[in-house]
């Protein structure tokens, strides 16, 4: 799988909202932004992916759920959800 990059915002659990980029690789997704916002999620730790109310909800086996929003073009979250679905 070729690495893809998306401009997104995200919340980890009830934590603060971060803005930055999501890189989707063959083994993990990496969220990174300015400051301390950085989350690496191995794809084999994703148990569910659901698109709801303009956000992508990613449930992990260990750790808080992630809520991801779009800062890129239209349809990015649906494309990302489709890409992550086989991992869940």
The per-residue pLDDT for range 36-84, each reduced to its tens digit, is 778 999 999 999 999 988 899 999 999 999 999 999 777 888 888 888 8
Q: How confident is the model at residue 87 (pLDDT cuts 50, 70, 90)?
A: confident
| Mean pLDDT in residue range 21-30 | 91
Q: Are the C-beta atoms of residues 16 and 22 closer than 8 Å to each other? A: no
C-alpha torsion 68→44→64→32, nearest 10: -50
Q: To which residue do tokens 């603060």 refer?
A: 16
């Amino acid at each position: 799988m070729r690495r893809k990059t998306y401009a997104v915002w995200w919340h980890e659990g009830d934590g603060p909202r971060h803005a930055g980029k999501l890189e989707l690789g063959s083994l993990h997704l990496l969220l990174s932004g300015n400051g301390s916002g950085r989350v690496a999620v191995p794809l084999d730790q994703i148990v569910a992916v659901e698109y709801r109310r303009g956000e992508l909800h990613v449930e992990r086996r260990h750790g808080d759920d992630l809520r991801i929003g779009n800062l890129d073009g239209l349809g990015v979250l649906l494309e990302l959800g489709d890409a992550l679905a086989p991992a869940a």
